[in-house]
Amino acid sequence: MPTPSAIVRADKATKVYQRDSIPVPALHETSVEILEGDFVALVGPSGSGKTTLLNLIGGLDRPTSGRIWVGAQEITSLGRKALAEVRLRHIGFVFQEYNLVPVLSALENVEYVMLLQGVDEERRRQEALRLLHELGLEGLENRRPNELSGGQQQRVAVARAIAARPMIVLPDEPTANLDSQSGSALMDMMRRLNEEQGTTFVFSTHDPMVVERARRVIRLRDGRIEADERKAAS
């Protein structure tokens, strides 16, 4: 069982992809615990297993072997529908390429997950507006994604991820497509959410600026955890 403060746990998680019938190992018997309030950076070279680990702990993918817990629930053997429910209730994703729903406005994108959760219309509208304002997107609520800059889109993606109050937010290379100023502002914002609201973040990154702001850094290489360092509180 996970320790009381662990909100996500991987136990000897292995992932082997099949590419044209050739097995391609991506993660090898990796065990890790993410604690409530963590602000973790997964770092490592391309192909080290960062995104795979994020996908596994986010219930987006299933391990070839090993087990994953989200909260007290073991999700390894859940069906598609149940996994979708876990992601809906407990996980927030932020993607490298923003991946907003293109036909929905910024406001509707933020509302989307709350709508799936069954939050009533008035409350989700208020919450989405509050988040967008808080993330500096006031006045852009009705814009569609293709009418927003990359930084603005990524902030909408963060607002969407945290709107549903998930246990954990998993940004995958969140600053990769942003200029340094936008990237820095985004990290400040996520750090603030972490500190002020206790939102747990685990992000994969190559970006030294992101690593610098993380309070815990997990280094991966060839599908194995090479190091797991917790920085002193700053």
Partner 1 sequence: MIWKLALRNVLRNRRRSGITVLSIAVGLAALTFLWGFIDGQNRQMVNNTTRYFAGDAQVHLKGYHDDPSLDRAIGAGDRVLAAVRADPAVAAATVRLETTVLASRADRSRGIAAFGVDPAGESAVSDLSKAIVDGRAFDGPGDSGILIGADLAEALALRAGDDLVLVGQAYDGSVASARVPVRGVFRTKIDDLDGYVAVMPMAVMRDFLAAPSAVTAVAVRLRDRGALAAATESLSIRVGSDHEVVGWPVLLPMVAVSTRFHEVMGIVVLAIFFVMVAAGVANPVLMAVLERTREFGIMLALGTGQSLLFRLVVAEAALLGGAGLLLGNAVGLGATAAFGRIGIDLGAFAAGLRTMPGLEDVIYPVVRAERSLFISVMVFVIALLMALYPALRAATLEPVAAIRGIGERGKARVRGRGEPAPARRSRWPVFVLIAARNLLRNRKRSAITAFAAAFAIVAYVFLYGFFDGFAEQIVGNSTGYLTGHLQIERQGLRRDLAPELAFEDAGGVLKAVQAMPGVAAAAPRVQAQALASSATKSVGVMLYGVDPDLEPGITILHRTFVEGTPLARGAERDIVIGRRLAEKIGARLGEKIVVMAPGLAGELGTAAFRVRGIFATESSSFDGAMVFVTLPAAQRMLGLGDRVSSVNLRLVDRSQVDAVARQLAPVVASRGLVASTWPELLTRVADMVGLVRAIRTVVVAVFFLVVALAVMNTVFMAVAERTREFGVMMALGTPPDAIVRMVVYETVALMLLASVVGYTVGAAIVSVFGSVGLDLSRFYKDYSAIPGLTGIVYPRLEWASLIGPGFGLFLASVAVSLYPASRAARLDPTAAIRHT
- In whole angstroms, the minimum distance from the beta carbon of 54 to partner 1 comes to 10
Rule CB under 8 A: choose which of 6, 16, 78, 116 binds partner 1. Answer: 116
Does 165 bind partner 1 (CB under 8 A)? Our answer is no
Does 19 bind partner 1 (CB under 8 A)? Our answer is no
Tell me how far apart the alpha carbons of residues 19 and 94 are, in angstroms, rounded to a whole number: 26
Tell me how far apart the alpha carbons of residues 4 and 76 are, in angstroms, rounded to a whole number: 20
Listed residue (152, 169, 160) closest to 203, CA to CA: 169
Interface segment toward partner 1; rule CB under 8 A; list 56-64, 68-76, 183-191, 198-206: 56-64
Q: How many residues bind to partner 1 according to rule CB under 8 A?
A: 42
Of 57-76, binders to partner 1 (CB under 8 A) are 58, 60-61
Angle between helix 150-163 and helix 106-117 axes, rounded to 10 deg? 20
Query: Which residues bind to partner 1, rule: CB under 8 A?
Result: 55, 58, 60-61, 80-81, 84-89, 91, 93, 95, 99-105, 107-108, 111-113, 115-117, 125, 129, 138-144, 146-147, 160
